[in-house]
Amino acid sequence: MKKIGILFFTILLFAGLLQAKEPAPGLTLTTLSGKKLLVRGTANGLEIDKYKGKILFLEFWGTHCPPCLISIPHYIELSKKYGDRLAILAVEVQDTPAPALKKFVESHGINYDVIAYREGQPLVDYIGQRTGWQGSIPFLAIFDDRGEYVTSQVGLLPQEALEGVIKTLEKMAAKRKNAPAVTETKKATPAAAATVETNHSK
């Protein structure tokens, strides 16, 4: 548990790396199973239509990368356990041809979304620019249930650490939802009143 705590401290330390960037125009990407994903870069992360409200693990991996192969059973188990609360999107970046990649996915029982490199290259380039990714794999970018970037990691993470991240993000989401609404009314300054009036007049 201590290691997981240190890991998440690191996650919080690096949160916001994607901030202050220009949002990207929408991309439509197709997974190997035929699912269409509308992906849009936001100021602080990613918005993917079919993953709204879910924690997202976005991994760049390869079929000839030993640590990537070790990660596959972990992701399969997490996908089963967390169901609709977790989305996993794996973009293969070693350019394995789509037909061969599809056979690989089927033979390994992969139950999460996979995109071939040539289909997902625009997303790979975009994330690479925003995180400073240099091409080492496996590379994992984590987004919370609002689509906001949390952190990224190069190298293998054990399943225990991944699950610790999920639980922590879920607790943070629960606190946000249960936080009392702000009811205090402040007296508007003349400048604020002018702004409100201007906005209503549009």
Series of mean pLDDT values for 10-residue runs along the chain (202 residues)? 43 42 72 96 93 97 97 97 96 96 98 97 92 94 96 93 96 88 46 33 38
Q: What is the pLDDT of residue 125?
A: 93
Q: What is the chain's alpha carbon radius of gyration, rounded to the nearest angstrom?
A: 19
The distance in angstroms from the start CA to the end CA of the chain is 54
Q: What is the pLDDT of residue 199?
A: 38
Q: What is the pLDDT of residue 11?
A: 43
| Sequence spans of domains, the chain | 2-201
Q: What pTM, to 2 d.p., does this model score?
A: 0.79
State the Cα–Cα distance between residues 180 and 192, nearest whole angstrom: 25
Nearest Cα residue to 150 out of 4, 44, 6: 44
CB atoms closer than 10 angstroms to residue 20:
8
Nearest Cα residue to 113 out of 174, 191, 55, 57: 57
Q: Are 81 and 57 in contact (CB under 8 A)?
A: no
Q: What is the pLDDT of residue 8?
A: 44
Pick the CATH number of 2-201 from 1.20.1370.20, 3.40.30.10, 3.10.20.740, 3.30.470.20: 3.40.30.10
Q: Is the peptide bond before 73 cis (omega within 30 degrees of 0)?
A: no
